[in-house]
Amino acid sequence: MNRKDFFKKAGATAAGGVILPYILPSGRLFARTNSAKAEYVINVMFAGGVRQQESVMGRYLDDSQGVSGAAGNIMPNLFKGGFPSKKIVFGTDPAAGTRGSEPIPRILSSSFEETGTVFKEMQAASAGHFVGLNSLITGNPGYSQGLKVRPKYPTIFEYLRKHAGFKATDCWFICNTLGNSYPLLNSSNNPDYGLQYGGNMLVAPYTFSGVGREILANAKPYSTAELSPMYFMKNFLDESFGLPADKMSSIKNTEEERTQIKEFIRSIFQRQTSGQIVAPPVTDNGDAVNVSYAAEVLRYFKPKFLTLNLGAVDGCHSNFTGYLRSLHRADHAIGWLWNYIQNSIPEMSGKTIMIVAPECGRNLVPNPILDENDWYAFDHSDANAMRVWGTMVGKNVPNLSIGSESNKVGRLTDIVPTIADIFGIYDDVMASPYIDPMAKSLYQRM
Amino acid sequence: MNMRNLYVNNTLIALLLFTIFVGCKKEKQVVFGVNKQVLYEDKAKKTKRKSDAEYISILYTNLYQTPISPSQLYKTQNILFSIGDRNVATELVLSNYFNTTGLKIPPNTVMRSNVDSFIESSYKRFFLRYPSEGEKTFFRNYINNNPSITVELVYTSFSTADEYQYY
């Protein structure tokens, strides 16, 4: 090799060494198509079906049960406005007196509405839960989405992993139930994306239940180094078998990430034993438990993106009082989570945006079922069930109130483009043929 | 009876006796059969994925040599479903199994005393087939060169391997 060849090859090798580590799974050299707006995003699917009237409109019993003078805000951490002054049943139970008559004190010094942006009247994709959740997580209405199957269109997890190069443990879905296909929302089965780009998922209330403890808690603690030979042999066996990518049945973490997740699960059982699980002050329903484990995931992994879903308000099909209690508690839990991020996770404090939106609304007209207070219940199938709100708060989010009952602004399919916008991959995601053509970043609707 | 008739009769009797003696033979005892052969799977033909219930049942029976109870199966199935990365879930469940008594697995000394036999039996136990020469060589070298390899690690790698998810 002469001197000229040597310099040529050495130069090429050095250039390759610099460039190769930055080639993204999408094949691009650079992820960012616009400047990022924040380092972390929490996406809260405030699900179960929430009526505008008892939430963002602050009408309480005025618009649902015909009790005049009973308007008021029962979601003080998200929206501004005082509690109702009469017939309070949504709070905690006093030692003596009416059940639920003590409202849970507001956790945040200022509500989301006072510090961030509220879209007061948005368009839901559907009056149903699963399509609604799909629209929140795929940016596509997904009208032909079947049950018991993964989403047809790529999820935000896949967009982030493919276009922004996020690791699997950068993306989490904390699911509240094993039922209703919800645990399948961490990845689509889309051939252009799919499980190889899926996010991590935990049905936390089940994984960390008594059953989970029985089946998982006795696992031996292994370090990455101790497990390395096992992974080496497994990789050999897998290479030998040669399973094609389209036959994958699970998302993939690296060996190091797998060990980290196992250590996390083990640590949760230990923290349960020692009473160290962080939780909102009032943790008396499934939503609060799910939020509590979402906080544990945030504390441990500090993921760039986490989605969690709630669902207790769906009890409104048969129990309106229970619905009010769940709505109040969901607000409490989300307020607590935002507060926890700001005060107890320094890496995320001041660098995070939280987006909150229900997946669908509920009916204008009640069904005939009466609850303990003789109040009517509500299903979700009419035009009122297509009305929802959305709010976002955090780093560089302006304080705005957008839209009104007579002026609909924004769609639930905007949430995915908004998250893409925050992480700087907006153009990449919008160029995908799978996004609702009517959707756009909520920043562009401000 | 004239001479001609006598001749015909004798000929017929002779023919009859000839037919009896030549035509009737003792039947031979013939037994048809095939050599006993144990059949093993071919990895290339494993195209159907086991369901979660099948996977857990087969794994449990393999390790404990006793069937799993329906309630335990149901609970384990749900736990696997509750964790997004199935490999993580399976490794945790396995690690839990390996921390219990009652497992029917060979001790490490048996593996070390005859590595070739251990490899072959592991392939038969988990994949229902014989290892290829390449596979045998890989495991032989890897086990012999790494004193930290235990039966538990080998069995975990087989139990979580893609091939074990298929039949």
A258-295 pLDDT, tens digit per residue, is 999 999 999 999 999 999 999 999 999 999 999 999 99
Cβ pair B154:A233 closer than 8 A: yes
Residue A80 identity:
K
B contacts of A206 (beta carbons < 8 Å): 78-79, 82
Q: Say which residue the tokens 């935000």 belong to.
A: A156
Which member of A198, A203, A253 has the closest CB to residue B88?
Answer: A253
- Identify any residues that bridge with A306 across adjacent strands, giving them in sequence order: A42, A172
Give the pLDDT of residue A3: 58
Residue (of A407, A413, A378, A434) closest to A124 by Cα position: A413
List phi, psi (to 5°) of A144: -95, 15
Cβ pair B161:A241 closer than 8 A: yes
Residue (of A359, A186, A208) closest to A290 by Cα position: A208
* C-alpha–C-alpha distance, residues B65 and A260, integer Å: 32
Q: How far are the Cα atoms of A210, B90, B166 from residue A81, in angstroms, in the given order? A: 40, 49, 58
How many interchain CB pairs under 8 A, A with B? Answer: 125
* C-alpha–C-alpha distance, residues A256 and B63, integer Å: 27
Cβ burial, residue B7 (10 Å; 0-12/13-18/19+):
exposed
Give the pLDDT of residue B11: 87
A contacts of B161 (beta carbons < 8 Å): 234, 237-238, 241
Strands A117-123 and A387-394: antiparallel
Residue (of A424, A420, A144, A422) closest to A439 by Cα position: A420
Q: Which residues, 6+ apart, have CB-to-CB distance to A110 below 8 Å?
A: none
B100-116 average pLDDT score: 94
Give the pLDDT of residue A248: 77
Give the pLDDT of residue A142: 82
Q: Which residue of B has its CA nearest to A222?
A: B95
* Burial readout B99-111 (b: 16 or more C-beta within 10 A, e: otherwise): eeeeeebeebeeb
Most A-contacting residue of B150, B157, B164 (CB-CB within 10 A), to test interface: B157
Give the pLDDT of residue A261: 96
* C-alpha–C-alpha distance, residues B137 and A435, integer Å: 50
B residues 63..92 contacting A (CB < 8 A): 75-76, 78-79, 81-88, 91-92
Give the pLDDT of residue A225: 87
Which member of A200, A237, A249 has the closest CB to residue B163?
Answer: A237
Which member of A203, A230, A236 has the closest CB to residue B156?
Answer: A230
* Burial readout A234-258 (b: 16 or more C-beta within 10 A, e: otherwise): bebbbebbebeeeebebbbbebebb
Using an 8 Å Cβ cutoff, are A400 and A390 in contact? no
A contacts of B79 (beta carbons < 8 Å): 206-207, 211-212, 215-216
List phi, psi (to 5°) of B163: -60, -30
Q: How far are the Cα atoms of A35, A118, B38 from residue A114, in angstroms, in the given order? A: 26, 9, 75
Average pLDDT of chain B?
89
Strands A305-309 and A352-357: unpaired
Alpha helices of chain B — where are they, by DSSP H?
3-23, 52-64, 70-81, 86-98, 108-113, 115-122, 133-145, 151-160
Cβ pair B83:A201 closer than 8 A: yes
Cβ burial, residue A185 (10 Å; 0-12/13-18/19+):
buried
Cβ pair A241:B83 closer than 8 A: no
**Residue range B156-165, pLDDT digits in tens:** 999 999 999 9
B contacts of A307 (beta carbons < 8 Å): none
Helix axes A255-273 and A286-301, enclosed angle (nearest 10)? 130
**Residue range B38-78, pLDDT digits in tens:** 666 677 778 888 999 999 999 999 999 999 999 999 999 99
- Full-prediction pTM beyond 0.95? no
Q: Which residues, 6+ apart, have CB-to-CB distance to B142 below 8 Å?
A: A229, A232, A233, B149
Long-range contacts of A371-376 (CB under 8 A, 24+ apart): A371/A318, A371/A319, A371/A320, A371/A321, A371/A322, A372/A319, A372/A321, A373/A87, A373/A89, A373/A320, A373/A321, A375/A61, A375/A64, A375/A65, A375/A320, A375/A321, A376/A64, A376/A65, A376/A320
Residue (of A194, A181, A190, A182) closest to A147 by Cα position: A181
* C-alpha–C-alpha distance, residues A53 and A404, integer Å: 12
- Signed CA dihedral, A392, A395, A401, A406: sign only: negative
**Region of residue B102 (phi > 0: left; psi between -120 and 50: alpha; otherwise: beta):** left
Which member of B84, B91, B98 has the closest CB to residue A200?
Answer: B84
B contacts of A178 (beta carbons < 8 Å): 78, 81-82
Give the pLDDT of residue A370: 96
- Identify any residues that bridge with A390 across adjacent strands, giving them in sequence order: A119
Cβ pair A252:B87 closer than 8 A: yes
* C-alpha–C-alpha distance, residues B105 and B127, integer Å: 16
The tokens of A280 are what? 């909102």
Which member of B87, B96, B142 has the closest CB to residue A218?
Answer: B96
Cβ pair B163:A241 closer than 8 A: yes
Cβ pair A211:B79 closer than 8 A: yes
DSSP B12: H
HSE (side-chain half, CA atoms, 13 Å) at A279: 18
The residue among A347 and B5 whose pLDDT is bigger is A347
Any CB–CB contact under 8 A between B149 and chain A? yes
B contacts of A211 (beta carbons < 8 Å): 75, 78-79
A contacts of B153 (beta carbons < 8 Å): 227, 229-230, 233
Which member of B84, B85, B95 has the closest CB to residue A220?
Answer: B95
Any CB–CB contact under 8 A between B161 and chain A? yes
A216: three-class secondary structure by DSSP? helix
Helix axes A286-301 and A320-344, enclosed angle (nearest 10)? 20
Q: Which residues, 6+ apart, have CB-to-CB distance to A333 below 8 Å?
A: A280, A283, A287, A288, A291, A292, A310
Cβ pair B138:A236 closer than 8 A: yes
A contacts of B99 (beta carbons < 8 Å): 218-220
Q: Which residue of A has its CA nearest to B42?
A: A241
A contacts of B84 (beta carbons < 8 Å): 173, 183, 186, 198-202, 250-251
Give the pLDDT of residue A85: 92
List phi, psi (to 5°) of A119: -95, 105
Most A-contacting residue of B54, B72, B85, B98 (CB-CB within 10 A), to test interface: B85
The tokens of A415 are what? 């949430």
How close A424 comes to chain B (CA, Å)? 26
Cβ pair A237:B157 closer than 8 A: yes
Q: Say which residue the tokens 């199957």 belong to.
A: A149
Give the pLDDT of residue A332: 98
pLDDT along chain A (446 residues), means of 10: 58 52 60 83 97 96 92 97 94 92 96 97 94 95 84 96 96 93 93 94 96 92 87 93 79 92 95 97 96 98 97 96 97 98 97 98 97 96 97 97 96 97 96 95 96
Cβ pair A215:B165 closer than 8 A: no
Strands A171-174 and A305-309: parallel
How close B31 comes to chain A (CA, Å)? 42
Q: Say which residue the tokens 């093993």 belong to.
A: B40
Q: Does ipTM surpass 0.85 in this model?
A: yes
Residue (of B50, B100, B48, B49) closest to B72 by Cα position: B100
A contacts of B160 (beta carbons < 8 Å): 234
Cβ pair B153:A211 closer than 8 A: no
Cβ burial, residue A209 (10 Å; 0-12/13-18/19+):
middle
Cβ pair B75:A211 closer than 8 A: yes
Is the pLDDT at B147 greater than 80? The verdict is: yes
Instruction: Give chain B's radius of gyration (CA, Å).
Output: 32
